[in-house]
């Protein structure tokens, strides 16, 4: 990655669209919010609120992390070509899940940009294909 000066700022918005498909179904979930966006020491950070949850996204070295806190919580780590496990926390207990990341692509700079993640989610015996697009704009 080329050297970039650190930056930090508000006045950004985020749009997240996740298309999920499994055996016999397909669904798309979208979120839109104001966000904070910064770059420091080689890492892009995006944070926003969604309902009663706080969401933090981190992009670094071709990988991504999405951390959600609140009534429902998780820490999902996306590393292309690798499987990672996480617990999805609910008010009724935790559910063990697994990610198999196919790709993480992002083109981000001080003005925003786009990120795309493609991964398989294994949950409760189901195998779900996910294609997520994240857009950051001023």
Please return the burial class of 59, using the count of CB atoms within 10 Å of its CB with bins 0-12, 13-18 and 19+.
buried
Percent residues over pLDDT 90 in the chain: 88
Contact 19, 130 (CB under 8 A): yes
Confidence of residue 125 (pLDDT cuts 50, 70, 90): confident
Q: What is the DSSP letter of 72?
A: S
Strand 112-123 with 93-109, pairing: antiparallel
- How far apart are the C-alpha atoms of 26 and 3, rounded to whole Å? 40
Q: Is the pLDDT of residue 89 over 90?
A: yes
Give the C-alpha distances (Å, rounded to integers) separating 19 from 12, 26, 101, 130, 138: 23, 7, 15, 6, 24
Q: Is the pLDDT of residue 3 over 70?
A: no
**Residue found by looking up tokens 């001023």 in the block:** 138
Structure pTM? Answer: 0.91
State the CATH class of domain 7-137: mainly beta
* pLDDT tens figures, 36-54: 999 999 999 999 999 889 9
Q: Is the pLDDT of residue 124 over 90?
A: no
């Amino acid at each position: 990655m080329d050297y970039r000066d650190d930056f930090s700022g508000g006045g950004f918005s985020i749009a997240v669209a996740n298309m999920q498909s499994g055996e016999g179904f397909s669904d798309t979930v979208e979120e839109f919010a104001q966000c904070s966006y910064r770059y420091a020491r080689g890492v892009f950070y995006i944070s926003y609120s969604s309902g009663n949850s706080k969401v933090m996204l981190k992009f670094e070295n071709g990988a991504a992390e999405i951390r959600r806190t609140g009534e429902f919580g998780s820490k999902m780590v996306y590393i292309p070509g690798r499987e990672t496990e996480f617990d999805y926390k609910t008010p009724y207990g935790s559910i063990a899940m697994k990610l198999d990341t196919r790709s993480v692509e992002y083109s981000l700079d001080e003005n925003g940009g786009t990120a795309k993640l493609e991964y398989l989610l294994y949950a409760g015996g189901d195998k779900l294909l996910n294609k997520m697009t994240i857009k950051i704009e001023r």
